[in-house]
Amino acid sequence: MRACGRMLRWCAVLALLGACGGTEEPSDASETPDVPDARAGPDPVRTDREPGVADPAFQGGALLGLYASLPEGAVFTVCGSDRVLAVAPGGRADELERAFLLAADGGDAPALVAVVGRVVEGGPPDAPDLRLAVDSVVRVEAEADCPGLPVAPPLEETAWQLVDLPPSHAGLAGAGVWMRLDGNGRVEGFTGCRDLSARYDWRGTALSFSSIDATVGMCEAAEVHALFLDALQRTGSYRFRAGGLELLDEAGPVARFDTR
């Protein structure tokens, strides 16, 4: 019954966002955001543009996604998109954070939220990124997923080449460390000494690794091997930055990757 009630509540939210296909026209179009049809239209955030470049075609509207509060700031994953957006300060960002904390009741799992906002450019000039400016908070519900939408690439089925283990490691370049999340909970790759064997769990912006084969590597890159496995064990979340992937623990990045 709880699941049915949750589905009905979110169907109402999706109807507001234009995704449930209601037949009633709004009485005053000026009070209703122009929302793309989630069934047929493109993602409101383009995924085929260069990282850090905002899509000029997206000026604002209603968005459905997963919100998480991380040590380095809040992030928002648009449902049906591979973009993880930092939440820009100002606007209704504080209201969204308060609603999330209240709904989460001390938990750290991402919450499903509906907001009205805009995707803007932010970050330092040498490493710009896309950020969500929140104009209005529609609904927040903890321990919920994007309804009816599967997890999407590029996190899965992408071969990620390790480029940094903060703090930077001098012997990393020639180690050839990489990994791929296969979409079925398994991780494959190379640790610098041997094939990588592990499992992963992905929910919203939360990402963790388990069943890691921590056999000591016997090779020239043994130190990189050990540091890489340690980074996987400490990972609790992830984000996309400048075309690459960062694995994060509570203190910040533990590993950085580019596509192979």
Rounded to whole angstroms, how far apart are CA atoms 166 and 62? Answer: 37
What is the model's pLDDT at position 189? 95
**For range 238-244, the mean pLDDT:** 71
DSSP run (H or E) holding 232: helix 222-234
Q: Are 2 and 143 spatial neighbours (Cβ–Cβ below 8 Å)?
A: no
- Which tokens hold the place of 257? 């990757």
The residue among 198 and 44 whose pLDDT is bigger is 198
**In this model, does residue 145 exceed pLDDT 80?**
no
Q: What is the pLDDT of residues 211-228, one digit of tens each?
A: 999 787 678 888 899 999
**In this model, does residue 103 exceed pLDDT 60?**
yes
Helix (H, G, I), strand (E, B) or coil at 226: helix
The residue among 188 and 152 whose pLDDT is bigger is 188
What is the model's pLDDT at position 217? 62
Mean pLDDT of the chain: 74
**In this model, does residue 254 exceed pLDDT 90?**
yes
Rounded to whole angstroms, how far apart are CA atoms 65 and 4? Answer: 20
Q: What is the pLDDT of residues 45-73, one digit of tens each?
A: 433 344 433 443 344 577 888 898 888 78
Spell out the residues 6+ positions from residue 8 whose beta carbon is closer than 8 angstroms to its own. Answer: none
Spell out the residues 6+ positions from residue 255 whose beta carbon is closer than 8 angstroms to its own. Answer: 162, 164, 165, 166, 228, 231, 232, 235, 246, 247
Q: What is the pLDDT of residues 159-181, one digit of tens each?
A: 999 999 988 776 676 789 999 99
